[in-house]
Structure formats: structure tokens, C-alpha cells
């Protein structure tokens, strides 16, 4: 099961076609439902002979430099998602520190600062994810 999940993440799996013929890459698969595959914004591919159900993304950087940008944006999107999860974890951590400060004003102030900084980071990550998705949609047209 885990191997199939990794294969679906690193190599697109779809319905079988004739080897070498064009196909549409399946981008609905994610790793653990969180991270997008590197080929997420690429749409075209070719059937591969090594696997009966593999639609391998076609990457030709010499004729279409936008594909390099789309791969980079997919990877950046994953990094931003990880940063968003880290920001949420810091909000929770700051909340726990605030609760356990036991009325100590210095500890409460430090915990409040952690929560505020994490929320600012979460807002920045959210705007960045929106911008990455917008740019990827624009470049993939």
C-alpha cells in the first residue's frame, strides 16, 4: 500500500494506453493527502513501457521553459504547506505555554508573542500559497 502511494506520488498512474502515445497526467494524487507531487501543474505526458499503467509526465525544458517554473512552483507549494503546518503547531505551542504560565506575566508575554508571530507567519504563508497557485494557473495555460 505504501509503495503504491509513493509510486503514485513520484510517477503518475492512470489508465493504460499505447506506449509512447500522449496522455493526460493524473494530478489528483497527493502524498498522505498533504503534499502535491512534483508534476502537479504539468498536464501532458507519454505512456511508459516500464509500467503498464504509468503516464510519465513529459518534460522538455528546451522548448518550454515554463515547465521548469511549474515544477518549481509545485515544490514551493509543498514547502509552503509544511511552513503552514509549522505555524499552526507554533500557535498550539504558544497557547499551551500561555495556559501553563500560571499567571507569570513574563511567561504569558512570551507565549503571547509566540502566538502572534505564528499567526503573522500563517498569514504570510497563506498569501504565498494563493500567489503560487495563481502563478501556476497562469503559466500552465
Give the model confidence (pLDDT) of 105-116 as tens digits.
999 999 999 999
Mean of the per-residue pLDDT values of the chain = 81
Residues 6+ away with beta carbon under 8 Å from 54: 11, 12, 13, 14, 47, 48
Q: Are residues 80 and 141 in the same domain?
A: yes
Q: Are residues 94 and 28 in the same domain?
A: no
Q: Which whole-number Å values give the CA distances from 10 to 40, 104, 132, in the listed order?
A: 10, 50, 21
Q: Which domain covers residue 54, as residue numbers?
A: 1-58
Q: Are residues 1 and 19 in the same domain?
A: yes
Q: How many domains does the chain have?
A: 2
Please tell me the distance from the alpha carbon of residue 7 to that of residue 20, in angstroms, as a whole number.
20
Please tell me the distance from the alpha carbon of residue 60 to that of residue 68, in angstroms, as a whole number.
9
Give the model confidence (pLDDT) of 27-82 as tens digits.
666 777 778 888 888 777 777 666 656 777 777 777 778 888 888 999 999 999 99
Amino acid at each position: 500500500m505504501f509503495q503504491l502511494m509513493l509510486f503514485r506520488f513520484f510517477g503518475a498512474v492512470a489508465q493504460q494506453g499505447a506506449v509512447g502515445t500522449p496522455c493526460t497526467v493524473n494530478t489528483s494524487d497527493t502524498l498522505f493527502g498533504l503534499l502535491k507531487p512534483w508534476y502537479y501543474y504539468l498536464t501532458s505526458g507519454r505512456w511508459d513501457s516500464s509500467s503498464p499503467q504509468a503516464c510519465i509526465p513529459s518534460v522538455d525544458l528546451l522548448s518550454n521553459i515554463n515547465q521548469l517554473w511549474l515544477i518549481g512552483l509545485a515544490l514551493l507549494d509543498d514547502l509552503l504547506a509544511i511552513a503552514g503546518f509549522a505555524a499552526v503547531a507554533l500557535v498550539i505551542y504558544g497557547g499551551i505555554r500561555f495556559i501553563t504560565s500560571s499567571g507569570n506575566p513574563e511567561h504569558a508575554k512570551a507565549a503571547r508573542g509566540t502566538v502572534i508571530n505564528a499567526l503573522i507567519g500563517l498569514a504570510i504563508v497563506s498569501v504565498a500559497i494563493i500567489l503560487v497557485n495563481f502563478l501556476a494557473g497562469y503559466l500552465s495555460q
